[in-house]
Amino acid sequence: MASLKVPEIAPSPIQDSERIRKAFHGLGTDEKELILVLGHRNSKQLKEIRETYQQLYNESLIDRLQSELSGDFRNAIILWTQDPAERDAKLANAGLKDKRKGIKHLQILVEIACASNPNHLVAVRKAYCSLFHCSLEEDIVASVSQPLRKLLLGLVSSYRYDKVTVNLEVAKWESTKLYEAINTKKLDDDHIIWILSTRNIFQLRETFASYKHLYGNTLDQGIKNCGKGDMESLLNVVVWCIDSPERHFAKVVRDSIIGLGTDEDSLNRGIVTRAEIDLLKVRFEYANIYKSSLDDDVIGDTSGEYKDFLITLLGIGPKGL
C-alpha cells in the first residue's frame, strides 16, 4: 500500500527532463516544480528520467540536484531520485562507517535484509560492490564486532524464498528452538541466526505466532527479557522488520521527530524508502500505536520545501502533472 501518487497518464521522460531543466534556470531554482515532477514519479519513471536527462544535457541529474539545492530538502529529493539499490547501498555504507555506540546506524542493514524483497537485497549487494569496490559482507566484518557481525552476515548473505509457503510443524519445532536459545540467553545461537536469516517471511510469521501460542508471550518480549544490550536491540529490529515492517517504520518516524530537534536522516529513511512500498500501512500503524497523525506530526516538525516534499511522498501534497 504505497502512498506515492503518480498521474494516470504521466508525461514522457523527455517532457519531464525539459521541465526539470527549466526549473534549474532563471533567478534561482524552482523547487516547487521539482517537487511536482520528481515527487510524483515511481522508481521506473525516475530511472527513465535520469537516463533521458543525461542524454539530453550531458550531465547527471543527481549531480545537478546536488549543486542546485541545499539542506534537508536536497538530501531527501536526491535520496528519492536515486536508483533504489544504489540509494540503499549508500545508506548501508554510511551506517557501517558510523562509529556511534548502539545499533541505530545498523538498522538500515536489517531493513534491507528483512523488510525488502530478496531481489532488492541482491541488487543492493551488487550496487555496493560497484560503488565501494568491496562486498557488503567484507565491510560488515571490518566494521561490526561480534555477536552483531554474525547476525548481520547471516541476514545480508541469504536469499529467502518469496512465495507464500508455510509448514506448521516446522514453525512449531523452530519456535521451540528459538525458545531454548532465548531461555538460556544464547542470542547468537546458530539456530536463531539460521532461522531468522533463511526462512521465508510467511514461515517466520507462523513461527512467531507458534512461539506466542506455546510460551505465552511474543518473541520480541522474550528477547527483551534477556537484557538491554545491542544484540537484544538488533534482534528485535529483525523480528519487527519481518513480522510487521509497518510497525518498525512507524517507530523510525516517531523516534526521528520526538525530543529536541529532528533526526532528518531517519525521517527521510522512514518516508523516502517506503513511499512506494507500504507507507499507507505505516501511517495507519503510527496512528494506532501513538494515537497521533503521522502527517500532522511530520508537518509540525519540518518546514519549507523539505516539508512540501515529504508530504508529497505521503500523498497529501499538491497533485503532480
Q: Residue 292: give the domain boundaries.
A: 246-303
Alpha carbon distance 304, 292 (integer Å): 22
Q: Is the pLDDT of residue 242 over 90?
A: yes
Please provide residue 162's backbone torsions phi and psi, each rounded to the nearest 5 degrees.
-110, 15
Bond from prior residue into 7 cis (ω within 30 degrees of 0):
no
In a domain, 34, yes or no: no
39-53 pLDDT per residue, tens: 999 999 999 999 999
Alpha carbon distance 128, 112 (integer Å): 12
Residue 250: per-residue pLDDT:
97
Identify whether residues 235 and 260 lie together within a single domain: no
What confidence tier does 318 reach under pLDDT thresholds 50, 70, 90?
A: low
In a domain, 18, yes or no: no
Burial class (CB in 10 A: 0-12, 13-18, 19+), 253: buried
Number of domains within the chain: 3
Q: Any idea what the CATH number is for the domain that residue 280 is in?
A: 1.10.220.10
**Which of 134, 156, 178 finishes a domain?**
156
| Ranges 23-27, 130-134, 317-321, most confident | 130-134
Identify whether residues 148 and 181 lie together within a single domain: no
**Which of 93, 125, 156 finishes a domain?**
156
In a domain, 66, yes or no: no
Identify whether residues 254 and 228 lie together within a single domain: no
